[in-house]
Amino acid sequence: MSSNLKNLSDYDKNKVPDASDMEFGIVVSEWHNDITEALYDGAYNTLIENGAAPENIKKIYVPGSFELPMGAQMLIQNADVDAVIVLGCVIRGETPHFDYVCQGVTKGVMDLNLRFNLPVIFGVLTTENLAQAQDRAGGKHGNKGIEAAIAAIKMCDLENQIYNFEDDEIADGDFFEE
């Protein structure tokens, strides 16, 4: 189904792991702050609704979306977090700036995931216009912050499952679904 026909933030709470023992960092871009604060509210409330304690959620700001990877790296290196969510909004303009920022942020977030072996969740809106951003920051298409929070919880839980299973479980294939 096309994303323009449904709310992408609907989720089954019964399928989301308990986040009560998890610690999260959220890096929020100040650029387009009306959009990014709405994304933050969605992410924060979703983490709380799924068991995260408010004191286990650390929020920092960076000037713009391009600085999100550096902010995430600073959190990873200086705070006790199990996952980091980056929240930003890049709206296409009349120059190639949009493409450079989007590519840089995407690559930066991917590199952090692999470098630190820690979930860094991409919650950056890349839209053609402000209306599309509003639609994805609490509007008719839901809130990308909610989706990012669910992804963070699920990735932390996956890491915990893998870390805690025994070698014989790997050999027997009990952990992995077929």
Which residue from 39, 57, 64, 45 is spatially nearest to 156, judged by alpha carbons?
57
How far is Cα 72 from Cα 67, in angstroms, rounded to an integer?
A: 9
Q: Both tokens of residue 42?
A: 């969605």
Which residue from 28, 154, 12 is spatially nearest to 82, judged by alpha carbons?
154
Active site residues: 97
Residues 6+ apart with CB under 8 A from 168: none
**Secondary structure of residue 121 in the 3-state scheme:** strand
How far is Cα 73 from Cα 13, in angstroms, rounded to an integer?
A: 30
Do the beta carbons of residue 134 and residue 35 sit within 8 Å? yes
**Secondary structure of residue 166 in the 3-state scheme:** coil
